[in-house]
Structure 1
Amino acid sequence: MRKAMEICGQIHSVSPVGNVTDESEACPKHWFVALVQMNCEKTANKKLQLLNFETFLPIQIEMHQWSDRRKKVERVVIPMMIFVKLTTKELEKVRNLSFIYRFLTAPGEHKPAIIPDEQIEQFKFMLGNADSEITMEPLTIRKGDKVRVRRGLLRGLVGYASVDSDGNSKIMIVIDCLGCASVSISAKDLEHVK
């Protein structure tokens, strides 16, 4: 127990009775996205697994037809990316591996982005059960979507996405009985609100 807390850099006095945190509470693991070189995803994934890290490399098996034969081929769904479940201490170790280019960050952020467990589970379910090709598409913000500003002076402002007559992105807030107040903003600075 004490060893687990030392690994995380958190040394607490451990009571012999009750209220003892286990390793998963002291060192929570999160999913991160490691970026690797093109066509090296499978090799990098195996290396991470040999180092005892939990990984998820989205692969889909497809049947390819050539003029003289048919063959099952493994296709990496998201090129150059591997999901890795790590503690913050492990993140620093993996970041320094020679075959890891860097970790994916959210736009405007400097810390590696955390991918929620439920999203990984849903993705795994989709990969295991889909009978057609899975593709990745950018999450686009459309007119009328509820959004939040994620950086800049308006950070935290919640409103609705809009587009002006020139095609520029705007955020609008509703003011009852008056209408909407709006301001131009880059779509890169907006995120969807659930």
Structure 2
Amino acid sequence: MIDNTYKWYPIYTRSRAEKKTQIELNKKQIISYLPLKKTVKQWSDRKKVIEEPLLKSYLFIYISAKEYTEVLTTPGISRFIYFSGKIAAIPDKQLEDLKLLLANVTDLEVIDYEVSLGEKVLIKAGPFKGIVAELVSLKNKKGIVLRLQNLGYSIMINTSLAFIEPIR
């Protein structure tokens, strides 16, 4: 028996095709949600605020099981996301929370790894690029305190968690 209840499902799109894929889904009258964040891009002659996907290559669709094939034949769609061997469904509440978060937070970033206090990290960007340090504390979204090896001092660095990665 096919489940005809409508649910939110995450789908994986081709690289950098999220917006075009959403347009194609809209043409098929399939409800979709693309979480976007505002980012300032710097060119040599100007700055511009653009909207880019919060989760690269991800799009959320609201469908029933009978529409799976229709979604997969849409240009730009790579595949459904699976969890434990089944197509992953997202609870309505989670998607509403994501929408609420994006409506109220201006500076949001996503990292695909966890960093714990006391963990050794590698600084990937900025003037300290290449340095290995210990994560001592998180002061706010942009302020992290790192203890540099062999110095015995902790240094407050105003950088993003996206610019460090755990060494495991």
Do both proteins adopt the same fold according to a TM-score greater than 0.5, normalized to the shorter chain? yes
TM-score, normalised with respect to structure 1: 0.54
Residue number in structure 2 paired with 1:124: 99
CA distance in 2, matches of 1:129, 1:80: 23
Query: Are the structure 2 counterparts of residues 136 and 45 from structure 1 closer, same or farther at C-alpha, using a change threshold of 3 Å?
Result: farther
Residue number in structure 2 paired with 1:146: none
Q: Counterparts in 2 of 1:18-167, with a 5 A limit?
A: 27-106=4-83, 108-109=84-85, 111-138=86-113
Query: Does structure 1 retain, via aligned residues, the 8 Å contact 2:24–2:74?
Result: no
Higher-Rg member (1/2): 1
TM-score, normalised with respect to structure 2: 0.61
CA RMSD of aligned residues (A): 2.2
Shift of 1:123: 0.5
Higher relative contact order (CA 8 A, sep 6+): 2
CA distance in 2, matches of 1:90, 1:136: 32
CA distance in 1, matches of 2:112, 2:99: 17
How many residues are paired up? 115
CA distance in 2, matches of 1:115, 1:138: 21
Task: Considering fraction of residues, name the structure with more strand.
Answer: 2
Give the match's secondary structure for 2:101. Answer: helix
CA distance in 2, matches of 1:93, 1:113: 17
Identical amino acids, percent of aligned pairs: 26
Shift of 1:100: 1.6
CA distance in 1, matches of 2:113, 2:97: 17
Query: Are the structure 2 counterparts of residues 129 and 86 from structure 1 closer, same or farther at C-alpha, using a change threshold of 3 Å?
Result: same
Which runs of 5 or more structure 2 residues have no equivalent in the other structure? 116-168
List, as ranges, runs of 4+ consecutive aligned residues in structure 1 with deviation greater than 3 Å: 136-140
CA distance in 1, matches of 2:45, 2:66: 51
Shift of 1:88: 0.7
Shift of 1:98: 4.3
CA distance in 2, matches of 1:97, 1:73: 26
